[in-house]
Structure 1
Amino acid sequence: MELRIFTEPQQGATYDDLVRLAQEAERLGFAAFFRSDHYLKMGDVTGQPGPSDAWITLAGLARETTTIRLGTLVTSATFRHPGPLAVSVAGVDQMSGGRVDFGLGAGWFEQEHQAYGLPFPATGERFDRLEEQLELITGLWAAEGNYDFAGRHYQLTDSPALPKPVQRSGHRGTIPVLVGGHGKKRTPALAAAYADEFNVPFADLEATRTQFGRVAAAVADAGRSAESMTYSAAQVLCVGTDEAEIERRAAAIGRDKDELRENGLAGTPDEVIAKIKAFESAGAARLYLQVLDLSDLDHLRLVAADVMPAV
């Protein structure tokens, strides 16, 4: 099982906070460092000192780290025009020496769009735009020569399709693409058409297993090999050596330790190892560990020492 660190900087973090955490995650041997793509806090937190842009942050981390993979879970298709987004992501891939995974989703947080003056179309249009962006962005990266695109929402004429990413490892010959979510029909179809990885965020084991099955069926229907898709899940992390430490870490992120045991990766190292193995039996090859207290580097150290070797 591959363990990746996943952060939510909109809840309150500086760039320096992210650098410290990413560098420690790299030193400890975690496979990747991911962040959300949000501009507005959620829940009862201050959000201070304010949001940071996902791809500007990852560009900085690309030069502050050397081996750990970097990405978004997930970039919102409503935030940026796909042409400039393709340029930004390819640039970060170059800056990192080919360590980017590109997660893209339809966008969902309406209040955030209102707060920053971003259009928020209805669900159907957001998914239409997501599908066009997936085709357009991967098309730009893979094109040999100029690239044209004639969609309903986006049109490109004589694009030089530059810069190119370092990576050509994705199944469409580009940066590896991640799609995720809980949708029963369109989401699996989009994953089968464009993605190298499918992620189920914050769901229980049975729901995760069921969604993996839907995607696997869509992959087969698309004529792809089963091995061409990697399956992953995201779960909030709260590990402690004893009940007092678990309770302290849960309180630091405003959660109840018993609720987290039910709905996340929480408990002692042995408890968390058992739950990780259960996700593995459901089909997950990667787990994104949502770390909400970015100041608690000892949390990562405990997982690296007492959980990672067993999974």
Structure 2
Amino acid sequence: MPDYGNPIRFGVFPSPEASGLDETLAMADAAERGGLDLIGIQDHPYQRRHLDAWALMATVLARTERVGVFPDVANLPLRQPAVMAKTAASLDVISGGRFELGLGAGAFWQAISAMGGPSRTPPEAAGALEEAVEVVKLMWSDRSSVCYDGDHYRLSGVKPGPQPVHDMGVWLGVGGKRMLAAVGRLADGWVPSSAYFPPEKLPAMSERIDAAARDAGRDPARIRRIYNVMGTVDGSGEGALQGPPHAWVEELSRIAVENGMDTFVFAPEEGGVVQVERFAAEVAPAVREEVARRRGRG
């Protein structure tokens, strides 16, 4: 796979568990101090132990000044896309352009339906996500009013606004063939997770995105590649994303240059704030340097 040449960025993926709020906010503060670029918050409204993702994201934005925030990824079946578009744009305005929108088709359908949401088949979930991207972008447009007539969502002359204050992206956390093609046609970013899609699976998935982008007349390099990476820096576990900092630097640099991923959002398996600090100090800057070196050599 190509290296698209995009800037290399880093983030952190703290838990939204209510019982761990102090540590979650401390991890966000560590990301801000450490020069990381993003904080991703998972969105599972049916999870009784979790805080509401959008309330937590607003809180994180309010206590930081530089770092960006995004839902990693928003639960579409329980969040109406036109209203979510307005909330996302509002957070972008309030934060001075520090919000991005990650969307997911949904999972855990029994829990979603128990909370009053739909129970969708895989084709229905894919179709709803494709429609949602279109609805969100209409709601961010500068048109006086917008209409949309889909199988899952409709707009009937609604007046969009406010608009985001920066060129906010819509990133999709997907893995199936149909939805990877939808990333290429419609979206601004792709958000896979190493727990579900290890590095060796990325090239074939990315190629499907690129092919769809080219067929749609889009430049594949304009699609950001955000990789959620789970592990422990200096851990004793087995696997590609374990071990001391130099092992992380080697692996993430290889994934960036060989697989085209440009953003790494770190979810520490243990250690919380200490792990975030170590990732920010010993991994992120070294990966940037190594990728620059390999790009120069290449």
**Shift, 1:124, TM fit:** 1.3
Query: What is the correspondence of 1:188-267 to structure 2 with a 5 Å cutoff?
Result: 188-202=180-194, 203-240=197-234, 246-247=235-236, 257-258=237-238, 261-262=239-240, 265-267=241-243
- In structure 2, the partner of 1:177 is 170
Letter in 2 for 1:180: G
Q: Do structure 1's residue 270 and structure 2's residue 246 form an aligned pair?
A: yes
Q: Do structure 1's residue 299 and structure 2's residue 282 form an aligned pair?
A: no
- Residues in 2 aligned to 1:127 and 1:145: alpha-carbon distance in whole angstroms: 29
The Cα offsets for residues 236-256 of structure 1, whole Å up to 9 and x where unpaired, read as: 02112xxxxx24xxxxxxxxx
**Shift, 1:305, TM fit:** 2.0
- In structure 2, the partner of 1:88 is 87
- In structure 2, the partner of 1:252 is none
- In structure 2, the partner of 1:288 is 265
**Secondary structure of the corresponding residue to residue 33 of structure 2:** helix
- In structure 1, the partner of 2:42 is 36
- Summarize the Cα distance change of 1:13–1:217 in structure 2 as closer, same or farther, 3 Å threshold: farther
- Summarize the Cα distance change of 1:155–1:117 in structure 2 as closer, same or farther, 3 Å threshold: closer
**Secondary structure of the corresponding residue to residue 13 of structure 2:** strand
Q: Do structure 1's residue 119 and structure 2's residue 118 form an aligned pair?
A: yes
**Secondary structure of the corresponding residue to residue 176 of structure 2:** coil
Higher relative contact order (CA 8 A, sep 6+): 2
- Is contact 1:231–1:283 with CA below 8 Å preserved after alignment? yes
- Aligned with residue 26 of structure 1, among 32, 44, 54: 32
Alignment size in residue pairs? 277
- Is contact 2:13–2:41 with CA below 8 Å preserved after alignment? yes
- Residues in 1 aligned to 2:175 and 2:15: alpha-carbon distance in whole angstroms: 20
- Residues in 2 aligned to 1:83 and 1:282: alpha-carbon distance in whole angstroms: 34
- In structure 2, the partner of 1:69 is 68
**Secondary structure of the corresponding residue to residue 210 of structure 2:** helix
Q: Structure 2: state its 5+ residue gaps.
A: 1-7, 288-298
- Summarize the Cα distance change of 1:16–1:194 in structure 2 as closer, same or farther, 3 Å threshold: farther
- Is contact 1:237–1:290 with CA below 8 Å preserved after alignment? yes
Structure 1 range deviating more: 203-212 or 69-78:
203-212
- Is contact 2:189–2:224 with CA below 8 Å preserved after alignment? yes
**Shift, 1:180, TM fit:** 2.9
TM-score by length of 2: 0.86
Letter in 2 for 1:310: A
The Cα offsets for residues 274-311 of structure 1, whole Å up to 9 and x where unpaired, read as: 11122112111111212344x62111111222212211
- Residues in 1 aligned to 2:19 and 2:138: alpha-carbon distance in whole angstroms: 34
Q: Do structure 1's residue 3 and structure 2's residue 2 form an aligned pair?
A: no
**Shift, 1:191, TM fit:** 0.8
The Cα offsets for residues 126-155 of structure 1, whole Å up to 9 and x where unpaired, read as: 111111111011111013211111222222
Query: What is the correspondence of 1:40-55 to structure 2 with a 5 Å cutoff?
Result: 40-41=46-47, 50-55=49-54
Letter in 1 for 2:246: D
**Secondary structure of the corresponding residue to residue 140 of structure 2:** helix
Q: Give the superposed CA RMSD.
A: 1.9
**Secondary structure of the corresponding residue to residue 78 of structure 2:** coil
- Aligned with residue 187 of structure 1, among 176, 179, 191: 179
